[in-house]
Amino acid sequence: MANEDLKGLISALLVPFNEDGTVNEKGLRQIIRHNIEKMKIDGLYVGGSSGENFMLEKETKKQIFDIAKDEAKDEVILIAQVGGTNLYEAIELGQYATELGYDAISAVTPFYYKFSFEEVKNYYFDLVEKVDNRLIVYSIPALTGVEIGVSQFKELFENEKIIGVKFTAADFFLLERLRKACPDHLIFSGFDEMLLPAVINNVDGAIGSTYNVNGLRSRKIFELAQAGKIQEALAVQNETNDLIEAILDNGLYPTIKQLLKLQGCNEGAFLSRKPMASATQEQINRSKEIYDAYLKNVKE
């Protein structure tokens, strides 16, 4: 697969859990089919923040990679997020996902400790040296505290296996500078509420959690903006941001899981992985109101 074939709208896959913290496999398969068949997404980003990945054991991460590949097969792009603070686990997961046939891997910048850029760069270079796949840097400075500038991105991109970045930041000056400096590398927008300005800045795609439930509307934003129909795209972004604001006010992941249930993904438990809290009855009730107000009548 050429890098061009990784472009598009990609859902950051949510994972439903059982009361004991195990993966609800039937529910996960439903979510995958829902994304492909109803949300019409181009790909799945598996093992990211939306999948509650950083609270999971290595074997559970592998299980999720297995299920996603088995269910999606080759119908859509599959990107495996393998990163964390443990380089050796990231290498093992990257090799595992590659053997399964994932189209690319991604890795969050190592966090918690205040790593220097040289340490971050070595982490990525060591990872791609051991994994025979392409890599997309996952940059989310609000959660990791790791800021990467244009010159540093260019250093990372000197490695031909590092093909792009999931850019989850609100710094549109940096995004514009990066797009101009690195026209041949892939840039994916990571903030769903900022999809329109990201597309105006010529991102190659977008990866986000709300695409699990709002993929159809997000597709309209993407395509209208690419066609230069900015005011029409803005109107859809306004609708989307009303939805996103309501979701954030009610609790991001618990609410999206409840919205997925209301859209027909209702096989078994749709809990979060502790210590993350699952939806309260109040949140469940509010999710129904959000669904009725913003999603019930959305069509292609």
Q: Does residue 178 contact residue 188 with C-beta atoms inside 8 Å?
A: no
Q: Does residue 6 contact residue 78 with C-beta atoms inside 8 Å?
A: no
| Percentage of the chain modeled with pLDDT above 70 | 99
So what's the pLDDT on residue 238?
Answer: 98
Question: Which residues participate in the annotated binding site for pyruvate?
Answer: 207
Query: The pTM is what?
Result: 0.97
Buried b (16+ CB within 10 A) or exposed e, 253-269: bbbbbbbbbbbebebee
**In 3D, which of 3, 6, 2, 11 has the Cα closest to residue 210?**
11
**Which residues are known to be catalytic?**
138, 166
So what's the pLDDT on residue 125?
Answer: 98
So what's the pLDDT on residue 144?
Answer: 82
Please report the domains of the chain, with CATH numbers, ordered by start residue: 3-294 (3.20.20.70)
Query: 2 pLDDT band (50/70/90 cuts)?
Result: low
Question: Which residues participate in the annotated binding site?
Answer: 49-50, 168, 190, 192-193, 207, 209
